[in-house]
């Protein structure tokens, strides 16, 4: 009996060891974005004197983050200049060491990962590539999250191999926080299918109302040597990500936008590319999103905060012959994040949102992405009067004025995506007539291929999303005329501690509640009424 017991115990120990080994360190990947994982370590916001500025660490508390092994390798920042001015100054003397400077924090959300597995039929276990099963569960739903898993989600995951981020608990149960479908890759065999004369990026995004239920697809829109064997392995990439409209939130028809950087792998897996996700830091969103540089799998497929669980997405990817253009953007963005966490750059839905901050950084570097102008000042003045009167709030009037006078590539994620994608295609096809800057020349010389990726919505509790809007008029057409009928997902404020403000962050921003053009229109109308009154008085009295 003792002998059998000893054998059984040995088998159990080996099995437990195999199960534990299936979950690996979250940095057990060659690269995270463009950075070798050997340059990183896992910490959380409670670490002391570990390198990141205190303002950045404050946002992560118990959240696992990747930070530089060497604190000297974290991106710098200026305390006397605003974000883009700082980038412009830095660019004049940038060195290779500056380009390799790491983000203050990369939001991992988990300390471990499962590189490849499948779900059991009852989704209570996962089965590794070696056939060994492991007990499995998922992170609890955030109470305010409306996009959590349901049976349709499990049906989706059951059809494909998966990688996961999560934690192995004391019962050797892997608790997943992120589930990434491994068939969502960008294979070198992607079909070469340039845009036809009758096609546009906008049409691809808008087809089938945004294509939330269409399959995942990739399509090569341009390549330097069509018909020849592709060798993209280890090449750097720059990507632009457009996330669609939420299907049941009338404040979110504009969608979302982010820039990605990374390194192409032989299997086309892009889950470890880094996404520069600028979000409002001063509110607790219903899904627990923290604005951060974060891996693509967490950005899209986190079970609480993943974009793909509540809307379709679209991506343009440029594969580069060398890393300089991508590294330069990422290093500049890392610098911008320092200002963002310090709060001398404040997220603003009209003037400094996800599209505006991202595209500003490209323009500071020298990529002169064509502008499309604002909606119009006359429309903005009329809207100010209408909203101020109907909502009895000159603050609301000022908000709508700012939206309508902001340059549209900085305001609308869809317009930013369109402008970047179209300009990339124009540059590589030598159709642009403008004088190219040094950054643009380097970009054009090194692009090997441009790929369009359609990413459907993962089925969940949430209604299917739509394509994002491209204009204010389209926004109005998508929402009920009676604003009291709008579906709105509420958020709670997240006040930033005053004691953490220093330098430019202590300066209070001032905004006239009544814009100068509106004041001038007041004066013009008053003068016009006075002239009419004088004319009537002269003629009749």
Cα distances (Å, whole numbers) of residue 233 to 184, 210, 264:
17, 31, 5
Residue 5 confidence class, pLDDT cut points 50, 70, 90: very low
Q: What does the pLDDT look like over 363-390, one tens digit per residue?
A: 999 999 999 999 999 999 999 999 999 9
* C-alpha–C-alpha distance, residues 251 and 490, integer Å: 10
Check pLDDT > 50 for residue 19.
Answer: no
Percent of the chain predicted with pLDDT > 90: 84
For the segment 97-124, the average pLDDT, to the nearest whole number, is 96
* C-alpha–C-alpha distance, residues 494 and 497, integer Å: 9
For the segment 24-48, the average pLDDT, to the nearest whole number, is 96
For the segment 201-224, the average pLDDT, to the nearest whole number, is 98
What is the predicted pLDDT for the residue at 442?
96
Q: What does the pLDDT look like over 423-444, one tens digit per residue?
A: 999 999 999 999 999 999 999 9
Residue 108 confidence class, pLDDT cut points 50, 70, 90: very high
The better pLDDT of the pair 48, 65 is held by 65
Flag the least confident range among 27-36, 64-73, 398-407, 480-489.
480-489
* C-alpha–C-alpha distance, residues 506 and 155, integer Å: 51
- What are the helix (H) ranges across 429-498? 438-446, 472-478
Q: How far is CA 208 from the centre of its chain?
A: 23
What is the predicted pLDDT for the residue at 21?
53
Check pLDDT > 70 for residue 17.
Answer: no
Q: What does the pLDDT look like over 248-281, one tens digit per residue?
A: 888 899 999 999 999 999 999 999 999 999 999 9
Q: What is the pTM of this model?
A: 0.94
Q: Where are the domains of the chain?
A: 191-485
Neighbours of 29 (CB within 10 A): 17
Residue 27 confidence class, pLDDT cut points 50, 70, 90: very high
Residue 187 CB contacts under 8 Å (≥ 6 apart), including other chains: 218, 268
Q: How far is CA 80 from the centre of its chain?
A: 28
For residue 365, what is the enclosing H or E element? helix 354-365
- How confident is the prediction for the chain on average, in pLDDT? 93
For the segment 525-530, the average pLDDT, to the nearest whole number, is 84
Neighbours of 507 (CB within 10 A): 9
Residue 14 confidence class, pLDDT cut points 50, 70, 90: very low
Find the radius of gyration of the CA atoms of the chain: 26
Give the residue from 98, 96, 464, 33 showing the smallest Cα distance to 249.
464
DSSP class per residue in 377-424? HHHHHHHHHHHHHHTT-HHHHHHHHHHHHS-HHHH-HHHHHHHHHHHH
Check pLDDT > 50 for residue 8.
Answer: no
Q: Which residues pair with 451 in a beta bridge?
A: 220, 317
- Decide if 454 contacts 204 (C-beta within 8 A): yes
Torsion-angle region of 267 (φ positive above 0: left; ψ -120 to 50: alpha; else: beta)? alpha
- 366-389: buried (b, 16+ CB within 10 Å) or exposed (e) per residue? bbbbeebebbeeebbbbbbeebbe
For the segment 436-454, the average pLDDT, to the nearest whole number, is 97
Q: What does the pLDDT look like over 75-87, one tens digit per residue?
A: 999 999 999 999 9
Pairing mode, strands 173-181 and 133-138: parallel
């Amino acid at each position: 009996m003792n002998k059998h017991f000893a054998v059984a115990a040995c088998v159990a120990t080996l099995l437990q060891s195999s199960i534990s080994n299936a979950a690996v360190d979250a940095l057990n990947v060659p690269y995270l974005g463009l950075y070798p994982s050997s340059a990183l370590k896992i910490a959380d916001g409670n670490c002391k004197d570990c390198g990141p500025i205190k303002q950045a660490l404050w946002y992560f508390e118990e959240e696992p983050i990747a930070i530089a092994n060497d604190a000297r390798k974290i991106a710098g920042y200026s305390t006397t200049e605003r974000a883009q001015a700082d980038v412009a100054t830095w660019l004049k003397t940038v060195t290779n060491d500056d380009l390799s400077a790491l983000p203050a924090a990369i939001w991992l959300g988990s300390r471990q990962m499962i590189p490849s597995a499948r779900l059991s039929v009852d989704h209570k276990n996962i089965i590794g590539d070696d056939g060994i099963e492991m007990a499995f569960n998922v992170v609890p739903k955030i109470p305010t999250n409306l996009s959590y898993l349901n049976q349709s989600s499990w049906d989706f995951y059951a059809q494909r191999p998966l990688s996961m981020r999560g934690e192995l608990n004391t019962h050797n149960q892997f608790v997943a926080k992120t589930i990434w479908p491994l068939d969502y890759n960008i294979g070198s065999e992607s079909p070469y299918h340039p845009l036809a004369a009758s096609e546009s990026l906008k049409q691809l995004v808008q087809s089938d109302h945004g294509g939330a239920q269409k399959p995942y697809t990739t399509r090569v829109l341009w390549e330097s040597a069509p018909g020849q064997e592709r060798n993209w392995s280890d090449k750097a990439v720059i990507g632009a990500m457009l996330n669609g409209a939420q299907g049941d939130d009338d404040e979110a028809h504009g969608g979302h936008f982010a820039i990605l950087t990374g390194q192409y792998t032989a299997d086309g897996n892009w889950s470890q590319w880094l996404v520069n996700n600028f979000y409002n830091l001063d509110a607790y969103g219903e899904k627990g999103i923290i604005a951060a540089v974060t891996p693509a799998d967490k950005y899209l497929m986190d079970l609480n905060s993943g974009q793909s669980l509540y809307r379709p997405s679209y991506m343009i990817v440029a594969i580069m012959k060398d890393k300089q253009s991508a590294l330069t953007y990422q290093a500049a963005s890392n610098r911008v994040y320092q200002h963002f966490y310090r709060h001398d750059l404040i997220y603003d839905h009209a003037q400094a949102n996800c599209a505006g901050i991202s595209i500003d950084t490209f323009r500071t570097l020298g990529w002169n992405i064509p502008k499309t102008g604002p909606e119009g000042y006359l429309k903005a003045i009329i809207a100010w009067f209408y909203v101020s009167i109907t909502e009895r709030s000159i603050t609301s009037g000022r908000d709508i004025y700012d939206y309508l006078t902001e340059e549209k590539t900085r305001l609308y994620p869809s317009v930013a995506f369109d402008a970047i994608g179209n300009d990339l295609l124009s540059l590589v096809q030598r159709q642009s007539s403008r004088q190219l800057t040094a950054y643009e020349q380097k970009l054009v010389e090194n692009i090997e291929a441009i790929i369009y990726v359609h990413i459907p919505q993962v089925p969940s509790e949430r209604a299917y999303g739509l394509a994002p809007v491209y204009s204010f008029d389209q926004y109005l057409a998508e929402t009920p005329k009676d604003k009291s009928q709008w579906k709105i997902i509420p958020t709670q404020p997240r006040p930033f501690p005053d004691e953490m403000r220093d330098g430019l962050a202590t300066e209070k921003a001032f905004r006239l509640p009544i814009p100068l053009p509106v004041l001038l229109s007041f004066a013009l109308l008053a003068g016009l009424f006075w002239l009419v009154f004088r004319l009537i008085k002269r003629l009749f009295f």
